[in-house]
A and B are shown apart, each in its own frame.
Chain A
């Protein structure tokens, strides 16, 4: 693990000519004194072309990784996912928790040598919230609860009225409409990164092209062939350039994960994802290179609680029976087989400052669960001796989802005597069906946290949430979450909210995701304990073989 986040703002990063010489001296040993390889490049595979690499428009995980290398936000994350200084050296928060004042380092510069100032952040945030920018991630600005953000997004106020101001060049003040204890965590997100106003005004939409693009991160854009690859090279103007080891980062766009794996095995690049079900074989063959780490996402089934859903499923006991009859250990060990963890709660057990409450179901053995499930179903009047029940499982077309649905259908039929039918739909069609709650039984879903805090999961089950696809409504639940926003210690409230979900089972949690990938053993510094898998190329380095 490397700890190169020294917070000294003393580095004279403007030594452009000296920078290369420095790197030469440093290139001998890594942060922990390891012998470094001659070749300090990092090449990895991504599934698809980035919809955008403009921080205000980035909308996907892979694009965010590019954004974190080309730009630097107020705050960054370390290898454990904790918030550490980025362009800001620190911040102060007011008594009422509604005003944040960030102090910016004075040695941060753009790759064209201009200083990075508080105005760059103001410009970027206004641009992200501006309806004319038409960014899909406007919703994230809304989530940050910045003063006037809703009015700006609706076009009722000018972007300049957004509650973010540059007090002076190196002081940024943000006013919120409600206290958000995790606000500093939120400014590690790419949407909030600074963008260079003069460059955007000069080139318009073309500003992200190689040659035009100016960033403030540890890397600059060198080359980009859409649908094929993107190459970033080290930014010698970065304030901490002397502690950046990797000279060149390349992302290869390879749509087919099996083709990617074959090419990784042929040694063409350093990192790639593991296709579903292949992890056991690969970890046997490459014990040091097949990696599985928790990832803040939960796989679950929505149960339709609206009047479009089956009548039987309106009974919490029936839902609990269905939930208990799912043998999650079989799912994670034999179906997904990538180190995933069985889930009995919505919130991922690895979420920061969160502990899953005591859940009776989780402590039982599967036999006990099955017995209890049969009792509950019989009490409700369904199953072998009661009314017959047929539940449809719908999911978006994918082999992995299908395998899980088949397995769960089997479990329900063997344990509870319930018939199941499977329905798969192409992604866009599926989103419409699920969003309009146009299904009778259960619908597959996955949710990933936007920031490392329990509310990022729990919020989706609020009555008015647009992501609540089961139609669950509970005033008590909503109140608990509202109270948690301003609570000194929100954990007990979050646990109570989880307990409501456990009692009601509007969703059937199935497993907590893992990120499963192959990483060449010479690459060090990967943030394995960062549950959001937010990696920064500036923290990586390649050790000499045999180390």
Chain B
């Protein structure tokens, strides 16, 4: 197991490098640049700025310098868009915000989603099942860019219970709406996945054996059915969790949280090369890390899997 983890971590290094190279190529292939605006800069001014940021160097050199600074100094460079900020600073400020509401969303989505899914499976074809399935489809069909403004209209404008946006260091009343908006669709997916895999397990032979031996239903489910039923849930959770903690552009924009999600998109539009790269590498590392964790969990849950 230990050697397996080590192998996976070693493979992650070239993976990230390939990610960097591809991102660089795509970035430079896109027309425009960080200093293009409605008002084109005089050539002299543009040359001065490009020299300042090393953008006058050949592409390969820019890439090598960039990787060198990241590896040796862990310095992701300055933002081209926000003159008084560095990429490290942007990530240090934005990532904790998304991490906070992302983790809350993940916890709530798992607890509620899995509970609903199990309940619906055990009481298949009862009103409870129909309500749960109905809720899942509804939540799935209501995308968060519709959900977010609705929440603001209801809780801020009509009821006046919650502030309509901002973060203010993560005080609870500012966290509630982002968490609701982010977690509902994941919750719905989790409920559906849990329900179908639970149904499959409950109809399998070993559960029938357990029932035949006269074990109480509660014990059959908790002791025998739950673990195998959660396998598909866990494989879904890896990428979903990364999706949640890296935040969502929609949530960041709708609630002005200052999270990292909006930077990812805005930096692409602004051609803010350093920010694009910094966030890409961050997301890449998280994805690799969580996929590894999921695989380890798998081995722990499913005795058939051996690495």
Q: Which of A49, A134, A254, A446 contacts B165 (CB 8 A)?
A: A254
Known A138-B45, A263-B165; contact A429-B256, beta-carbon cutoff 8 A = no
Tell me the minimal C-beta distance from B81 to chain A in angstroms.
6
Structural contact, B156 and A139, CB atoms closer than 8 A = no
Q: Which residues of B contact A227 (CB under 8 A)?
A: 93-94, 256, 258, 262-263
Structural contact, A226 and B36, CB atoms closer than 8 A = no
Number of A residues, CB within 8 Å of B: 55
Known A226-B258, A254-B256, A429-B31; contact A466-B152, beta-carbon cutoff 8 A = no
**Contact of A431 with B by CB under 8 A:** yes
Q: Which of B30, B82, B255 contacts A49 (CB 8 A)?
A: B82
Q: Which residues of B contact A435 (CB under 8 A)?
A: 36, 40
Report Cα–Cα, A475/B200, bound state, in Å.
81
Q: Which of A52, A229, A428, A447 contacts B271 (CB 8 A)?
A: A428
Q: Which of B157, B167, B258 contacts A265 (CB 8 A)?
A: B157
Structural contact, B48 and A134, CB atoms closer than 8 A = yes
Tell me the minimal C-beta distance from A159 to chain B in angstroms.
12
Tell me the minimal C-beta distance from B30 to chain A in angstroms.
7
Q: Which residues of B contact A445 (CB under 8 A)?
A: 38
**Contact of B166 with A by CB under 8 A:** yes
**Contact of A165 with B by CB under 8 A:** no
**Contact of A94 with B by CB under 8 A:** no
Structural contact, B269 and A52, CB atoms closer than 8 A = no
- Chain B interface residue count: which class? 35 or more
Structural contact, A428 and B48, CB atoms closer than 8 A = no
Report Cα–Cα, A59/B32, bound state, in Å.
18
Q: Which residues of B contact A325 (CB under 8 A)?
A: none
Structural contact, B269 and A428, CB atoms closer than 8 A = yes
Tell me the minimal C-beta distance from B150 to chain A in angstroms.
10
Within residues 13 to 59 of chain B, which ones have a CB less than 8 A from any CB in chain A? Answer: 30-33, 35-42, 44-45, 48-49, 51-53
Q: Which residues of A contact B93 (CB under 8 A)?
A: 225-227
A52: nearest chain-B partner, CB-CB: B83
Report Cα–Cα, A259/B252, bound state, in Å.
11
Report Cα–Cα, A139/B37, bound state, in Å.
13
A143: nearest chain-B partner, CB-CB: B42
**Contact of A208 with B by CB under 8 A:** yes
Structural contact, B156 and A263, CB atoms closer than 8 A = yes
Tell me the minimal C-beta distance from A4 to chain B in angstroms.
32
Tell me the minimal C-beta distance from A137 to chain B in angstroms.
9
Structural contact, A136 and B45, CB atoms closer than 8 A = yes
Q: Which residues of A contact B51 (CB under 8 A)?
A: 131, 134
A432: nearest chain-B partner, CB-CB: B31
In the complex, the 9 A-B pairs of residues with the closest C-beta atoms, listed nearest first? A428-B32, A134-B52, A263-B164, A227-B258, A52-B83, A131-B48, A432-B31, A228-B258, A138-B45
B residues lining the A interface (CB < 8 Å): 30-33, 35-42, 44-45, 48-49, 51-53, 81-85, 89-90, 93-94, 148-149, 152-153, 156-157, 160, 163-168, 252-258, 262-263, 266, 269-271
- Some 7 contacts from A to B, beta carbons below 8 A apart, are A131-B52, A136-B35, A153-B48, A227-B263, A268-B164, A428-B30, A428-B270
